[in-house]
Structure 1
Amino acid sequence: MNDITITRVFDAPLAKVWKVWTEPEYFAQWFGAPLPTVASDVRPGGAWRATITTAQGEMPLSGVYREVEVHKRLVWTMDVPGAPEVVMDAAFTDRGDRTEVVYHQPGVPEEHCATAEAGANHILDSFASVLAKS
């Protein structure tokens, strides 16, 4: 098992980065493939769910926010049908007019590391694009 850690610095203040990261209408725009439905309750123990559209059809995603420190840290899970639960976290650091985000995904099986890291980078690229437009 390996950990994936990716650090990005975004050209936006912390409050804006947090808003685009956590609010459903923004999340639907940047989290991977199109998400026709998204709901989230960003608090410890709160749930999130979405429907993702892929070439194979629609697939439900869901998870729970394990830890929420507003403007500081999120720890959440993602459940994908037929796959083990994924745990992810993101730490947010105020850098004035910029914000550093450290994304971390522990316990990734060796054979899935390259795909998981590429997927995380794709999602962070999409996040940067949505953030720049909002």
Structure 2
Amino acid sequence: MELTKITISAIIDADSDKVWEAWTNPDHITKWNFASDDWHCPRAQNDLRVGGKLQSRMEAKDG
């Protein structure tokens, strides 16, 4: 199987500290990390240390 590289970029018109907080704080991640309004993100964890990992769960609200 041949892998295709995908690059996504975005320009966000907001204060960089607020963007960092929204992108890295699990309390904020659960408020935006879902595909559509009928989905949600019930939990997220983020360890920003070297070797740490980001974990989040996205699921449909109806189970």
Per the normalisation by structure 2, the TM-score is 0.68
> Root-mean-square deviation (CA), in Å?
2.0
Q: Pick from 22, 38, 41 the counterpart of residue 44 of structure 2.
A: 38
- Higher relative strand content: 1
Please list, as runs of the form range in 1=range in 2, the aligned pairs for 1:23-102 lying within 5 A after superposition. Answer: 23-32=25-34, 33-54=39-60, 57=63
Residue 55 to residue 36, structure 1, CA distance change in 2 (3 Å): closer
Asked if 1 retains the 8 angstrom alpha-carbon contact of 2:40 and 2:61, the reply is no
Q: In structure 2, what is the Cα distance between the partners aligned to 1:24 and 1:45?
A: 17
| Seq. identity, % | 32
Q: Deviations over 1:39-69 (max 9, x none)?
A: 2212221133333222683xxxxxxxxxxxx
Q: Pick from 17, 20, 24 the counterpart of residue 18 of structure 1.
A: 20
Instruction: Write the letter of the residue equivalent to 2:53.
Output: A
Per the normalisation by structure 1, the TM-score is 0.37
Structure 2: give runs of 5+ residues left out of the alignment. Answer: none
Number of residue pairs matched by the alignment: 57
Q: Which has the higher contact order (CA 8 A, sep 6+)?
A: 1
Q: In structure 2, what is the Cα distance between the partners aligned to 1:6 and 1:39?
A: 23
After superposing the two structures, state which structure 1 stretch, 43-52 or 19-28, moved more. 43-52
Structure 1: give runs of 5+ residues left out of the alignment. Answer: 58-134
SS in 2 for 1:34: strand
Runs of 4+ in 1 over 6 A off after TM superposition: none
